[in-house]
Structure formats: structure tokens, C-alpha cells
Amino acid sequence: MLLNIIKKSFVNQKKAMALMVVSIAVGTALTASLITLSFEISGKVSKELRSFGANILVEPKIEGLADISGQKRYLRLEDVIRTKTIFWRHNIVGVAPFLETDAEISHNGKPLDVKLVGAWHEKELPLPGETKSFTAGIKTVSPWWRLSGKWPDSTDAIMAGSSLAARLGIKAGDAALLDGKVMKVSGTLETGGDEDNQVFMDLESMQEFKDMKGKVSRVFVSALTTPMDAFAYKDPGTMSKAEYEKWYCTGYVTSIAKQVEEVFKGSKAKPIWQVAETEGKVLDRLELLIYLLCFIVIAASAIGVSTTMIMSLLRRIEELGLMKAIGADRAKVISIFLSEGLAIGCIGGFLGYLLSIAASQYIGMKVFSAGLEQKAILFPISIGSAILIAVAGTVLPIRRALSIKPGIVLKGE
Amino acid sequence: MFKLSFPQAARVGNPSENKERFRTDSRQSGDKSRNDKGVILIANRNKSRTATKWFLFFFMRSISQRKGRVVIASLSVMLAVAVVTAMLGITFGIREKLGAELKAYGANIIVAPQKGHYLDYETLESISRLNHVEEAAGQVFGRVFINKQGVEIIGLEVSRLKDRGWRLFGNWPDKKGEILAGVNLKDALRLEPGRTLALESEGKKTDFTVSGLFEKGGPEDSALIVSLPEAWELTGAAGRLSAVLVRGKSGELESVAKSIRAAAPAASVKTLRQVAFAEESLLVKIQLLMALVTVVVLSATVISVASTMGANVLERREEIGLMKALGATRKGISSFYSAEAILIGLAGGLSGFLFGYFSAQAVSKGAFNSFIAAPSYLPLFSLAMGLAVSVTAAYFPVRGAMKYEPAVILRGE
């Protein structure tokens, strides 16, 4: 009997029922995709924040004042790929080694003392023990560098910083003398920083040219990190063994720096604090922002959907009046509305879940160029919240239905 | 249910007159009455007055008898408007908020003199007076000797370093004779906070106390930081600056750089692309995310408005049928329902603005710990949106209801 009534109401009131199901479905889809989003927002935003540039600097360890005032120490190039072997290796998203030395460049007889820098722009490194490779180089740590022309790839090609190029009057395709050797200028680069006055070469080519095989002056590392908290600021030297373990196995910028330091022979790795600090703050703020927005949006859509339910069900007060007149009791009235709410909630929730898969994939692709992972727990959440909202929408109509006097309603007064 | 009783209508006249009343809206008939003469004028004026009166009576009666429905309809309009208002407010405010967070990143424009020259202190002062310059600080670079080994010194206003995210071991210097040392010097000189350092320059030795060690993660880590006057004393070049670091308003960088170039024509002015790049790419993502979420929320809330308004009108098919049976024109009926939709739109738009504005402020306060400045047209926008949503939502059901034959509706079929 009850089933029959519900079936009939779905068949006879197609439009009204469809409207309720659609609004529940949209509300559920919205809730589910926002939950999916907030699960992953931290990871996604911290990936976006890597556009701030490298957050760890590795330099040769300083052992005496002489190291500061001029004497040169170097890191080993072979250690670079070992950054992908540390505990937090999956968090390392970029590595760029730099070799720096003095040189003299001249063009049309104008000699100039400059810094010669060897680096990779975009280089595939084979991962030890794996078939995959890892992309290293400037592009992975400093995406804002503006290159025009081609990155030099041979022992007789250089790239000039834009200010230097302007000063010397050289452009891509010209030839210049570097330490007396004829070099082809393959392009220019602009960063807004010191690099604009430097000369760049391919790292290995420069090592050969300057006879500095296997040497690297400094390495920039870009790593996904956990924002620093009070615990992270404790000095690792004063930690107990358990604390040290906890610190070492949390992705703080300091602990990742420590692990990077361990794989580079004779190195000192430091967080680049301006980047690390800003990143942590921005990440915290944005996460909070997204959570608050999700809350508001979910609340608003829940209220909206409930209103739709109320309005649609109120239209059927007359029907209920008739039922009461021919002998339906309170329990019957309640069970009719409730089971309709349940049915609408289930169907709407299921459709909403499907819709949310599409929506969160779309939003993920559009905003972060990567889909969001759909967690299995979302299915019960979707159905549950849909039923909750739908049933909440039946409360007011039920109360109205219970209080009506069949005679008055049927008379239409 | 709405009770149809027309006390005045019953007294005043026959159906054809009623038809006339519905057709003429008060403004039109007012114009007409001025053009006509004599008896007709009085009759028309009476007619128009009764038409307006009747319209108002009808309208007020309708609203007061259906308070609940009007409130629910306004509520759903309010939700739609509130969510969009909140989203818009935050989207506009977020640029400024993020900009403030990125302040720790430091300068985004560097003004440097030509090689071998200096900048005057007056240049710094004139730069800091320029538009959109949030902060301008001078720096002096120099070299001193410790045990005959050269060490870089940087002279700057130390108080400006405090929100830069640099890690400090020890204390900030707060009196003359106190300096900061980079962490690299700690390894090189076995330095601890509180130690005394003898700096040699210009042939004389001066003792300084190291109040703290700092770690920045950059070349500064090998330098000593002293106050500007002390740097001038040590380098023997009072009032001269080696660089001016400017923080310009994000988004206005190019125009700031341009006006600095005009103010200091001899210097080289560079915008640091790192900060601007990171800021821009992050903002674009966040705003895109907000826009997508807004669209989804808007569709969910508009469904709820449409269903509520639709239910409102459909419920009153009998009323429309009766009006038509009594001789109301389409225009009369539609102006009656438009008035209702406008009232709901205004109420929903206004409350939606207030609600949305306060939620935006609450979110901003929660996430960024400060309020946002919403654009001045936001209230107008919210009202307009409320009206548009409500009138559009009412349009289709009313148009549909007009098609019914009065007799069919009134018979209850």
C-alpha cells in the first residue's frame, strides 16, 4: 500500500519529483566534490606554491674563515640524483645544480669580467634502481626564468643574461669570446636578479671547458613540505630519540634539508627561509579559506535543497487531507512523507555522487591540471547527506500535514 | 488557501468595469485623465483610483495571507544572492590579502647604482614617497677584515628584518655595537651569540658584540649585518647606499618601476620576477577555483529559487483562473505577480547582500585575520541579482499558468 502510494506519486508528479531529485543531486554533488577538494587542497596548493622557487639550498660545508673569504670548495655532481633516494624522496619535485666561476667575455674588443655559471635547464636523470627518470634543472626550481633562444648544449655555446647582453650589444646568433675561445650565443635570459649579468653554459660542457669535472658550487632543491609548527622549531640537537625520529620522519623543510645534507658529501643544506616561511603561511591561510568556504557553501545548498523539498511537498497537503479524511492516521502520514523523502534522498544522492565524480575531476583538471582522487568513503557520505537533507525537508510538511483539518483543506479554504 | 473575496469590487460594478481596471495601470490612466475632459475625466479618475486601490488591496492581502511562502521564497533568493556575494567579496579581497602574506618575501624591486657608483640617501627618500611603494629600504655593502680575512658586511635597518621569516638564534641587536652574523660564520669562527668580534677596516679595529646568528638560506649567510650608521662608519662613506630595496604593490610593479626610473635616472631598476610570478600564478588558480565553485553553487541555489517560486505560482492556478474568469487581462495578472516577484527579489537581494557580506567578512577574518574591503558596487549588484533571479524564476510558471482555461482550473481538474 505504502509502496503503491509512493510509486504513484513518482509517476503522477513527474515534474515535481524530478525537481526534488535534481536539486538533491546537485546539492549532494556540490557537497561531495567540495569534500574531495578539501581532502586534497593541501597537497595541490603546496604543489602550486612550488612556483615560489627552490626552498632548500645545498652548499659546501664551511670549515674555516678562508672558505668564506675566497677559497673554493665544491659538491659532487654524482650526489645530485641521490636526493631522490632520501626518506622524503617523493616530495622532491625539483633539483638544480649550479657551478660558478669567474671568466672574461669580450665582444668587438670590449672585455668584461663576469660570472660564468654552468647549469641544466631541463635534464632527464635516470633514477637509480628504477626505470623511470627524473627531470632536474632550472625549470624545476625557478619557473619564472624567461629564456629567449635555445639553452646552450655544447662546449662552444653560451647564454647571456639580458643586462649583460644589452651592455655588450650581443644577441642570439652572435659570436663572443669567452676566455679567448669563440662561443656562439644561443640565446638570452631574464630573471630580474643577479643572473641578468651572468653568462650561462651547459653544466657538463662548462666542467669540461673550465676543467672542473664533477664539481658543483651549489644545488637548489624544491621540496613539498609540511608547514613549520612549534615542534619543528626545536633544535634537533636537543631532542630525545623519539622526538628526533618524529621530526626526521615529518616533511618539515628542516628535516628534508637534513636528509638532503646527508646525501651530499661535505655539504651544508639550509632552508631558504623567506620561501619556506611564506609558503607555510600562505598554505595555512588558503587551507582555512577553502574549509570555511566549503562550510558556507554546503550549508547554503542544504538549506536551498530543503526549501525545494518543503515547497514541493506542501503542494500535496490536499492529497494528505483526503487521505486523512478516508482514515489515514498520524503514523501513515508521517511514513508517507518520510519514505518519499528517503526515496528522493537515495536516488538524488546516487545521482549526486556520480555527478560529483565528474565535477571534481573537471575542477581538478581545470584548476590544478590534475584530477582529484575520489575517495571511496564519499559514497556513503553522499547518500547519507542526501537522505539527511531530503528528510530534513519533510519535517515542516509533515507538521503541516498533521495539523490540517481534512474538511477545511478539501473545501479549499 | 487564499480566500477570494472582493468586497469593493462587488460594490463598485460589473465585470466589464473590472476588466478595465485590470487593464489600466495607474500611471497610464493618470496621463489619460489629464487629456480627457468633463464627466469622463472624473469617471476615469475614479476608475484609476479604484484600480490602484484594488491592486494594492489584492497585493497586500495576498502577501499577508501567504506570509510563510513569501518568506521561504525570499529565503531561497537570499541564499543564492548571499553565496554569490560572499564568493565575489572574497575573490576581490583575496589579492590584497595574499599580497600581505607575501610581504615576508621581501622586496620585489631592486634599485642599484651603476658599477663603482653609489646612491644618495635622498634617492631613497624620494623613492619611498612614490605611489604604490609600500616599503623602501637602503642597504650598504662593504668588506671588513677579521684576522686578515675579508668578510662581507651588509648595513641595513635591522628592524625591517623581523617579519622576513629569517631564522634567528640569539637576539635581535637593539643597541649600538651589536651586530648579527650569518650561520656560515658560526662554523667558520666558532661564533656563539654574545661573543665579541674585532672588525678591521680603514686601518682601525672596532669591537662588536654578536647579539645573534641568523639563517636566511642565501649568500647573506656568510655576511655580518650591521646598522646603517655603523656600516657608514666602517666603510667610510656616510649617506651612501649600495642598493635600495623596494616593495611595490603587487599588480602595480611595472608602473612603480617606471616611476622609480624617472626618480633615479642613473640607477638600474629591476623587478624581481620570482615574487610576482609566484603571486600571480597562485592568485589565478585560487580565483579560478572560486569562480568554478561559485557557478556550481549558483546553479544549486537557482534550482531552489525556481522550484520555490514555481511552486508558489502553480499552487495558485485556481486564483489565476478566478481572476481570468472575473475578466482580468494577462497584463493585469502578470503585473500582479511581477510585483510579488519584485518584492521577493528586493527582500532576498537585500538580506542576501547583508548575509553574504558578513559571511565574506567572517571567512576573511578567520582565514586572514583581517577584514576585506568589498567593491562599492557590491550592494547594487546583490540587489540586481536578487531581482533578476526572482523575476526570471517567476516568469515561466506564470506564463504557463496563463494558458489554462479558467473553467478547467476552477472545476479543479
Q: Which is nearest to A188 in space by CA: A203, A167, A218, A212? A: A167
B37 — phi, psi (to 5°)?
-130, 170
**Per the CB < 8 Å rule, is B76 touching A304?**
yes
| Pairing of the two strands B243-248 and B109-112 | antiparallel
**Per the CB < 8 Å rule, is A61 touching B359?**
no
Name the DSSP letter for residue A239: -
Q: What distance in Å separates residue A129's CA from the closest CA in chain B?
A: 32
Confidence at residue A48, expressed as pLDDT on a 0 to 100 scale: 80
Confidence of residue A411 (pLDDT cuts 50, 70, 90): low
pLDDT tens string, chain B, 413 residues long: the values are 344 444 444 334 444 444 444 444 444 444 444 444 555 555 566 667 777 787 788 788 877 877 777 888 888 888 888 888 888 888 878 777 777 777 667 788 888 888 778 888 888 888 988 888 888 889 999 889 888 888 889 998 888 887 777 888 888 888 888 999 998 888 788 888 888 888 888 778 889 999 999 988 888 888 999 998 888 888 888 888 999 989 888 778 888 888 998 888 888 888 877 777 777 777 788 888 888 878 877 777 777 777 777 777 666 777 777 888 888 787 878 888 888 889 999 999 999 999 999 988 888 888 878 887 777 888 999 999 999 988 888 887 777 777 777 777 666 55
Other CB atoms closer than 10 Å to residue A290's CB: what's the count?
A: 23
CA B136/CA B269 separation, integer angstroms: 13
With an 8 Å Cβ cutoff, is A288 touching chain B? yes
Comparing CB atoms, the residue among A26, A144, A296 nearest residue B363 is: A296
CA B29/CA A249 separation, integer angstroms: 83
Confidence at residue A171, expressed as pLDDT on a 0 to 100 scale: 86
Has residue A244 got a pLDDT over 90?
yes
Name the DSSP letter for residue B114: P
Please report, for residues A210, B406, B411, the alpha-carbon distance to residue B77 in angstroms, rounded to integers and kept in the order given: 72, 30, 33
Q: Between these two residues, A27 and A250, which has the higher pLDDT value?
A: A250
With an 8 Å Cβ cutoff, is A52 touching chain B? yes
- SS3 (DSSP) at A104: strand
Confidence of residue A367 (pLDDT cuts 50, 70, 90): confident
Chain A residues 239-268 within an 8 A CB cutoff of chain B:
268
Kindly report the average pLDDT of chain A as a whole number: 85
**What radius of gyration, in Å, describes the C-alpha atoms of chain B?**
37
Confidence at residue B7, expressed as pLDDT on a 0 to 100 scale: 41
Which of A111-120, A179-188, B49-58, B207-216 is predicted with the least confidence, judged by mean pLDDT? B49-58
Comparing CB atoms, the residue among B167, B189, B359 nearest residue A65 is: B189
Collect all residues with Cβ–Cβ distance below 8 Å to B129 and sequence separation of at least 6.
Answer: none
| Pairing of the two strands A110-119 and A267-271 | unpaired
DSSP element (H, E) containing A182: strand A181-190
DSSP strands (E only) in A248-370: 267-271
Confidence at residue A396, expressed as pLDDT on a 0 to 100 scale: 78
Comparing CB atoms, the residue among A29, A56, A311 nearest residue B308 is: A311
Q: Which of A274, A312, A408, A410 to mutate to test the interface with B (most CBs of B within 10 A)?
A: A274
Other CB atoms closer than 10 Å to residue A287's CB: what's the count?
A: 17
CA B176/CA B179 separation, integer angstroms: 8
Q: Between these two residues, A401 and A165, which has the higher pLDDT value?
A: A165
Confidence of residue A323 (pLDDT cuts 50, 70, 90): confident
Confidence of residue A12 (pLDDT cuts 50, 70, 90): confident
Confidence at residue B17, expressed as pLDDT on a 0 to 100 scale: 44
Has residue A160 got a pLDDT over 60?
yes
Which of A26-35, A99-108, A219-228, B293-302 is predicted with the least confidence, judged by mean pLDDT? B293-302
Q: Which is nearest to A398 in space by CA: A275, A322, A309? A: A309
B194: left (phi over 0), alpha (psi -120 to 50) or beta: left
**Per the CB < 8 Å rule, is A305 touching B300?**
yes
State the cell numbers at A372: 582529484
**Per the CB < 8 Å rule, is A66 touching B149?**
yes
**Per the CB < 8 Å rule, is B151 touching A68?**
yes
Q: Are B168 and B213 in contact (CB under 8 A)?
A: yes
Confidence at residue B1, expressed as pLDDT on a 0 to 100 scale: 38
Has residue A163 got a pLDDT over 80?
yes
Q: Between these two residues, A403 and A222, which has the higher pLDDT value?
A: A222
Confidence of residue A412 (pLDDT cuts 50, 70, 90): low
pLDDT in tens, A75-91: 999 999 999 999 998 89
With an 8 Å Cβ cutoff, is A303 touching chain B? yes
Which residues of chain A does B299 touch, with a Cβ-Cβ cutoff of 8 Å?
A: 26
Q: Which is nearest to A310 in space by CA: A332, A292, A337, A328? A: A337
Confidence at residue A98, expressed as pLDDT on a 0 to 100 scale: 95
With an 8 Å Cβ cutoff, is A230 touching chain B? no
Which residues of chain A does B270 touch, with a Cβ-Cβ cutoff of 8 Å?
A: 192-193, 196
**Per the CB < 8 Å rule, is B86 touching A48?**
no
With an 8 Å Cβ cutoff, is A231 touching chain B? no
Confidence at residue B411, expressed as pLDDT on a 0 to 100 scale: 67
CA B276/CA A60 separation, integer angstroms: 30
Please report, for residues A95, B93, B395, the alpha-carbon distance to residue A89 in angstroms, rounded to integers and kept in the order given: 11, 37, 60
**What is the predicted ipTM?**
0.73
| Pairing of the two strands A199-202 and B149-155 | unpaired
With an 8 Å Cβ cutoff, is A115 touching chain B? no
Confidence at residue B10, expressed as pLDDT on a 0 to 100 scale: 39
Q: What distance in Å separates residue B198's CA from the closest CA in chain A?
A: 14
With an 8 Å Cβ cutoff, is A191 touching chain B? yes
Other CB atoms closer than 10 Å to residue B55's CB: what's the count?
A: 18
Confidence at residue A410, expressed as pLDDT on a 0 to 100 scale: 62
Has residue A200 got a pLDDT over 90?
yes
Comparing CB atoms, the residue among A288, A315, A366 nearest residue B292 is: A366
Taking the complete model, does pTM exceed 0.90, yes or no?
no
**Per the CB < 8 Å rule, is A314 touching B311?**
yes
